[in-house]
Chain A
Amino acid sequence: MRGHIRAFITLILKDLRVTARSPWELLAILVFSSLSAIPATLVSVEVLGDATKLVLLFVAIYISTQTYVKEGRAGTIEVYHLYPIAPSVHFLAKLSYTWLLLLSSLTLYTTTLALLGVPPARLPSLTMEWLPLTLHLSAASSLASLISTYLKAETTLLIAVAAVMVTPALLSKGNPATLALLGLAYTIVALTVAELLED
């Protein structure tokens, strides 16, 4: 168990270091999050919820495909096939990493909204609606990444699987609890798949 925890922390730190040392990619995520808040201030508060879903969706897809494609090109994706890393540890590390980046993105987005005049009283409740969505998107994109890595599939499959999994979130008219539960369900599915892969 201690080995799994060490591997989990090591994998998150590795992803964060690699991201921090590729400043243009990180900057692209942050600038996109900040700039996309500008048109969002022009719409009604009701539409703002849907606009934000799209922003977070783009960021989540960018993060997961970017890390997957990058590891695929560099050949380091083989690490997950050659080292005794439990797939569940791999999944949880990817989920945590994606969630951290999505939270950073959401923080910047809401800060920009506040600076541009969205009523501050509305922001806490909106943020509470969006937080479960970030968990949901992180779980869905990490599960897609896990499937693609272990099936050695192409990026198109990753995008297709992720798209199918996030559709309910995009169509739902915002019960945050449902989204959080769906994210939790994806996590449980991923951990079950991971157990099977380990055997």
Chain B
Amino acid sequence: MHSVIVRNLWKRFNGNPILRGLNASFEEGSLTVITGPNGSGKTTLIRIVAGLTPPSEGFISVYGFKPGSYKARRLTSVILDKPLLYEELTVEENLELFKTLSGSEGGKFYEVALETLGVTRVWRRRVGELSHGWRRRVDFARSLIAEPKLLLVDEITTAFDNESLREAVSILDSLTRSGSTVIATTPNPGDVELLADPVKRVCSLRDGVLECEAI
């Protein structure tokens, strides 16, 4: 079954097309990596599927729902380049806040992320005091709280060192095996090797056109 369906998707900024009639389907339980140079529209695509940016034209469905709708938001989690965390709050307060907002107590993937990425070590520290790398780890844990059916990760390799990236990818692997769909982006095609086994498909976004191949 397809979790995300994109048909004839166009996005223009000030008349300039960034995405040109994209067509793609993403299978349930798959991890797809989208590569492409900076400015190719990867982040725009992620934001459109997340419901943060409206498309100029085209059709998108997230498990049969319109992106950004209340029902789609219950199924989707997003990691953007800028961590979605309150700097004035501690890590614990942030994660408790997002547990309440997502109506979840956190699941096994969240617990694993806390342990393996060492988030519990900075539990009582304010997010504003953390380095970008630590914020990214906390943000990764945040994204797993509700065990999302669809996880969108922008710039997956950014701010992760090799070891924590391996841990993160291992968690994503378990998540896809449980039936969730993961769509991640990276500007560097070489990063796909770092992501290794769980990646089922690599798509290349160039000049607003998406080309995918299974691996």
Contact = CB atoms under 8 A, between A and B. Distances in A.
Interface of A: 3, 6-7, 10, 14, 17-18, 21-22, 74-76, 78-79, 81-86, 198
B70 A198 contact: yes
Contact of B82 (A6, A75, A86): A75
A14 B86 contact: yes
Contacts of B85: 76
30 contacts: A6-B100, A7-B101, A10-B97, A10-B101, A14-B86, A14-B89, A14-B97, A17-B89, A18-B86, A18-B88, A21-B89, A21-B126, A74-B87, A75-B80, A75-B82, A75-B83, A76-B85, A78-B84, A79-B84, A81-B73, A82-B50, A82-B77, A83-B101, A83-B102, A84-B70, A84-B74, A84-B102, A85-B101, A86-B70, A198-B70
Q: A-B pairs with the 6 shortest C-beta distances? A: A21-B88, A75-B82, A10-B100, A83-B101, A18-B88, A84-B73
A81 B51 CA distance: 8
Nearest to B77: A82
B76 A17 contact: no
B118 interface: no
A198 B101 CA distance: 15
B84 A76 contact: yes
**Size range of the chain B interface in the assembly:** 20 to 34
B167 interface: no
Contact of B86 (A6, A76, A86): A76
Contacts of B102: 83-84
A74 B102 CA distance: 20
A82 B70 CA distance: 9
